[in-house]
Amino acid sequence: MNKALIVLSGGQDSTTCLYWAINEFGRDNVSSLSFDYGQRHKIELEAAKKVSEIAAVAHEILPIDTFSALGGNALTDDIDVQDEADDNDADIDGSLSDSSLPNTFVPGRNLVFLTFAAAYAYQRSIKHLVTGVAQTDYSGYPDCRENTLSSLEQTLRLGMEYDITIHTPLMNLNKSDTVALAEKLGAMDAMAYTHTCYNGEQPPCGHCQACILRAKGFAEANRADPLIERFQFFSRNRNDKTNDE
Ligand code: ZN
């Protein structure tokens, strides 16, 4: 039977991919893998664990704490995340100048994640990797593009002599399509426990690039974000309690 491994960040997109894989391969054949790469916000890993529990799939965290030693980005270092997508315009041909990448870009991250995931999969006879990267609607990260992923797939096949496939079900979907897909796949219960905010805030900050894109997607899909609803529910309950006292 075909088995699949999801690279799970604990965010909206990889969670949608987890449910895509359950639908495609069957729950018993799906497992998830997260990376402790020195990210500032461990809340991502907690989200990945919780999402895996809700989806009832096995989950493991691999420690690869090296990116913070490389420095220079806002996800592992103590520097401010750039607000808004103010300088992320890709050229018409899809190429980007160096300066156009936001400081949330961690160079090499997806390449390393997928290489480790492939090695992990190899040891467990898993032949399908699933990742939530998309080349639409994002900050133009070059390691999320289709040509990067198909080239990496080819490299992994050659380098391990192993017939592995990288699935990217969200590659050409915009955020609102992704929300619609998550809804269709029954991922919304888990969505309430995902984490997207670049500032690591809970409830989400609402003004970082990640929060803005997420909110835009749910607004365009005409669907309330279960994550936001969860916090509204808690704060309502807290207020009710305070009023009772
Ligand atoms: Zn945020």
HEC assignment per residue over 9-43: CCCHHHHHHHHHHHHHHCHHHEEEEEEECCCCCCH
Cα of 151 vs centre of ligand 1, distance in Å, is 32
Nearest by Cα to 100 from 71, 135, 141 = 141
Which residues are bridge partners to 240 per DSSP? none
| pLDDT given at position 189 | 97
| pLDDT given at position 100 | 67
Q: What is the mean pLDDT of the chain?
A: 87
Neighbours of ion ligand 1 (CB under 5 A): 197, 199, 204-205, 208, 211
Cα of 70 vs centre of ligand 1, distance in Å, is 24
- Contact criterion met (CB below 8 Å) for 37 and 66: yes
Cα of 103 vs centre of ligand 1, distance in Å, is 14
Peptide bond into 169 cis (omega under 30): no
Cα of 18 vs centre of ligand 1, distance in Å, is 23
Higher per-residue pLDDT: 3 or 65: 3
Report, as an integer, the average pLDDT of 71-96. Answer: 55
Cα of 202 vs centre of ligand 1, distance in Å, is 9
Cα of 13 vs centre of ligand 1, distance in Å, is 15
Domains of the chain and any CATH numbers: 4-244 (3.40.50.620)
Torsion angle defined by CA atoms of residues 13, 219, 84 and 74, in that order, rounded to the nearest 10 degrees: -30
Cα of 45 vs centre of ligand 1, distance in Å, is 16
Cα of 71 vs centre of ligand 1, distance in Å, is 21
Cα of 198 vs centre of ligand 1, distance in Å, is 5
Q: What does the alpha-carbon distance between residue 221 and residue 206 come to, in Å, rounded to a whole number?
A: 18
- At residue 87 the predicted structure's pLDDT band, cuts being 50, 70 and 90, is very low
Q: What does the alpha-carbon distance between residue 77 and residue 195 come to, in Å, rounded to a whole number?
A: 19
Q: Residue 150: pLDDT above 60?
A: yes
Higher per-residue pLDDT: 231 or 130: 130
| pLDDT given at position 67 | 79
Tokens 């995931």 correspond to what residue? 117
Q: Residue 95: pLDDT above 60?
A: no
Cα of 15 vs centre of ligand 1, distance in Å, is 18
- At residue 74 the predicted structure's pLDDT band, cuts being 50, 70 and 90, is low
CA gyration radius, the chain: 18
| pLDDT given at position 77 | 67
- Contact criterion met (CB below 8 Å) for 135 and 171: yes
Per mean pLDDT, which of 78-87, 217-226, 234-243 is the most reliable?
217-226
Cα of 203 vs centre of ligand 1, distance in Å, is 9
Cα of 222 vs centre of ligand 1, distance in Å, is 20
Cα of 208 vs centre of ligand 1, distance in Å, is 4
Higher per-residue pLDDT: 242 or 59: 59
Give the 3-state secondary structure of residue 87: coil
pTM attached to this predicted model: 0.86
Cα of 139 vs centre of ligand 1, distance in Å, is 14
Q: Residue 35: pLDDT above 80?
A: yes
Higher per-residue pLDDT: 192 or 144: 192
| pLDDT given at position 141 | 81
Percent of the chain predicted with pLDDT > 90: 64
Q: Residue 93: pLDDT above 60?
A: no
| pLDDT given at position 97 | 43
